[in-house]
Amino acid sequence: MQEIIPGKRDIAVLLNPDTPFSRLALEEAKAAAQYGQIHLIVLEARTAEEVTERLHDAAKSAAAGLLILEDPLIYSMRRKIADLSAQFRLPAMYVY
């Protein structure tokens, strides 16, 4: 993310906090962010509606990019997430 948006320090992280993998991945992202002096904006979503709302929140925030921590809900919405990320001109990183 730092290579495609150099100089930017705010990155939004979209995750479902009810998924054990996502919680673990968030802790890893936080550790990496400290090393890179990056501020993470954590966006939690448990429903499809919340995923859409959190993407709008990311667009309104100071985030220069978006990190997607996938789980079954978020994976099922991958097209919507990609479309909204493009609409909001928010570079995004995904697992797949």
3-state secondary structure of 64: coil
Q: Which residues contact 45 (CB under 8 A, 6 or more apart)?
A: 14, 15, 16, 51, 53, 54, 73, 74
3-state secondary structure of 55: helix
Q: What is the mean pLDDT of the chain?
A: 92
Buried b vs exposed e over 62-75: b needs ≥16 C-beta within 10 Å?
A: ebbbbbbbbbebbe
* Residue 45: both structure tokens together: 């979503």
The pTM of the full predicted model, rounded to 2 decimals, is: 0.90
Domains of the chain: 10-93 (3.40.50.2300)
| pLDDT score of 7 | 78
Q: Is the pLDDT of residue 60 over 90?
A: yes
Could you report the per-residue pLDDT of 5-35, keeping only the tens digit for each? 777 789 999 999 999 999 999 999 999 898 8
